[in-house]
Structure 1
Amino acid sequence: MNRRRFLITGGAGLAFAGIGTLTWTYIPGSARPLTTDAAMQTLSVLAENVVGINGEWNLPQVLVHCAQSIEYSLSGYPEHRSDTFKQTAGALAFTAFAAKGRMHHSLNEKIPGAPEIDVTTRLQPAIARLASAFATFEQHTGELHEHFAYGKLTKADYEIAHVMHFYNHLDAAIFKA
């Protein structure tokens, strides 16, 4: 192995290890169960308890975004990161998130290739769409499509990813006092 290749691959390895360490250290663990059932229970009381959400999207847009992610795991994501990214940084990020039981990502970043979510989307239809996506995912017995950033996930891994994703977006929710 020549010196340049060693420095490039070694530097990438250190960067990924650093990302994992930062993720592990600075993202608090989750006490919420990472199951579809728990997420559905949270969703069922959302309308009565959330008055708003911090960020660029309103609550209905956030719920539709979460539904899109679940739907794309069943139908295929419109765009993907490179295979190299999915096999390195993406896989490491998912592993760190799953080990911690909590995800942290940009709450204003749409799924690559997904259509814009209408700002006038109403709350009840958004709740219904996310509930339907969770239910459809739970009942699904076929193959799942590769995640656009994490790569190939098992159904159990996808369940954890979808629930952590939903909970991460709820971190920005403003709850009734």
Structure 2
Amino acid sequence: MTDWTATRAEGDKILAAFTPQMGRRYANGRNTDHGSGAHKAVSVLSPYIRRRLVLESDAVAAAIAAHGLEDAEKFVQEVIWRGYFKGWLERRPQVWDSYRTGLNADLADLDRDRRLRRDVDRAMNGQTGLDCFDAWAAELVDTGYLHNHARMWFASIWIFTL
């Protein structure tokens, strides 16, 4: 996995570098996955915001200052949705508890079922034979990051196909 520098200074540097793209360029390009290392229309600020090294309010303020509210609207909406769902989950600890229970049951199934374990290992190692899935698996291992839409497609294929 690619190392990322977990500091406020590095988060601020990434925020400043992405600020010029927080307007219409973000709104128009955010849903396109250009592949590993080519994520130019998305901020890649998630690990910094998640760990409070960059505050949501700072990201929103930078977007509005650079582009005005109208042009920065999509970026601002995404930051606000992120905070909303974080709060939604915090108010519903049973969702996390249910996830943990399900995860423990799934891990027990992996211990018992050799075929399932083999299939999961192939998926995790990018050896499914599905080019897009295997490329995303490699990108996730190599960089620790997947574009938002790639994450959704990856999860859908994992759940419904594999």
TM range (shorter): under 0.3
Higher relative contact order (CA 8 A, sep 6+): 1
TM-score, normalized by length of structure 2?
Answer: 0.27
Question: Which has the larger Rg?
Answer: 2
Structure with higher helix content: 2
